[in-house]
Amino acid sequence: MHNFVFHNPTKILFGRDTVNAIGSETRAWGRRALLVYGQTSLKRSGLHARIVNSLREAGLELIEFGGTCSNPLLSHVREGIALAKTHGSEVIVAAGGGSVIDTAKAIGAGAVVEHDVWKFFTGKRSIKATLPVTTVLTLAASGSEMNAGMVLTNDATREKFGFGHRLLFPKTSILDPETTFTVPVDYTVYGAVDAISHVLEFYLTASDPDSPVQDRLMEGLIDNAMTACLRCMDDPCDYNGRANLMWTATLALNGLTAAGLGRVGFPMHLIEHSLSALYNVPHGAGLAVVMLGWLRAHHDLYARRIAELGRRLFRLPDGEQAASIAAQTSLCLQEWLHRVRAPTTLADLGIPARDIPRIADNTRGLARIWRLRDYPPERVAAILHLCR
């Protein structure tokens, strides 16, 4: 095990009717609040009204900033920052999925500086302070509700970059599984795939794999994401199915899985970010495709780890060669992706194979920032060819 620091100060309120606490949890951090949310579903479900009521009852002075889309845009964040500055917002409330929470975090970071917020993402400036963020989560997927990361797409340059800083942990996140009953099947699946990918990236790229305590934790999370997703597909209002998926997605990227693994990479996300940046495909949909291609490309290089995963997760036999078990592991994962009707090829996403060079080229920027020097465009292109 490598040395690590684990310090996750986010307070989680989990369960039925916890949404009503958003007012008091937010009031603890300020009086003037900016409420960030997405398109239409929050109002349609009645959740918007519940949140606004709770915030108003707690004495918060509120302005609203709706319209965040999935793969949230830098231009939209800039508008939010301007609004927060004019309003003198003291605290940001995010009500939505990872895109909304990341937008809120970026507004909170950008509202306290004079320079452009994108400079954080390109590594040109570092975060010294932020406005506090509280959240009401409505999608089990990104883990942003309990981590210090955020991802934005620069709509001018078509770059989708991620960035992390310890000041970006939300203060309180409210996770009521009932708010996810209305999430459509495809987005439920994309969320589960996102959670699985978060665990998988660390599991496979860990620089010190002698951390069985972390391995068992990660295998358990992948196992649960797969089974809970199936439960939610069978019955979208299965409370415990939704609850298990929600908590799994949160634990999948809250710092716990990576503790002790040393330097980990995010190569699947590197490639997916370019798919989303160029074609605006849902993050989880892109990941389902990239995940399989990445695994196929690494049956030999990462044979031991992929096989270990397959033996634990899919009870594949002990005896055979690791590379063969690794290939079977990919097939088992592919089978599950088919079962949940996720896309598994670039064609499923409507992306033609002739675009592969362009996609590979788009990964350059993030590969530089994330220091993934071992992922030059040629290697990315080779992986993408296995996503066909």
Contact residues for a second copy, defined by CB under 8 A: 1-18, 177, 210-213, 216-217, 219-221, 223-224, 227-228, 239-240, 243-244, 247-248, 251, 256, 259-260
Cβ closest to a second copy, residue 154 vs residue 173 = 173
Closest distance to a second copy from the beta carbon of 10 (Å): 8
Task: Please name the residue ranges forming H helices in 116-266.
Answer: 118-121, 185-205, 212-234, 239-251
Cβ closest to a second copy, residue 216 vs residue 338 = 216
Does residue 158 sit in helix, strand or coil?
coil
Closest distance to a second copy from the beta carbon of 304 (Å): 16
Cβ closest to a second copy, residue 73 vs residue 141 = 141
Phi-psi region of 42 (alpha: psi -120 to 50; beta: other; left: phi over 0): alpha
Q: Residue 53: how many CB atoms within 10 A of its CB?
A: 14
Closest distance to a second copy from the beta carbon of 195 (Å): 11
| Residue 99 C-beta-side C-alpha neighbours within 13 Å | 22
Cβ closest to a second copy, residue 52 vs residue 222 = 222
Cβ closest to a second copy, residue 157 vs residue 227 = 227
Closest distance to a second copy from the beta carbon of 217 (Å): 5
Cβ closest to a second copy, residue 191 vs residue 282 = 191
Phi-psi region of 262 (alpha: psi -120 to 50; beta: other; left: phi over 0): left
Cβ closest to a second copy, residue 69 vs residue 256 = 256
**How is 291-359 classified by DSSP, letter by letter?**
HHHHHHHTTTTTHHHHHHHHHHHH---SSS-HHHHHHHHHHHHHHHHHHTT---STGGGT--GGGHHHH
Closest distance to a second copy from the beta carbon of 129 (Å): 18
Closest distance to a second copy from the beta carbon of 218 (Å): 9
Q: Measure the CA–CA gap between 9 and 380, rounded to whole angstroms.
A: 36
Closest distance to a second copy from the beta carbon of 186 (Å): 22
**Among 298, 285, 299, residue whose Cα is nearest residue 345:** 285
- The two beta strands, 133-137 and 149-154, are unpaired
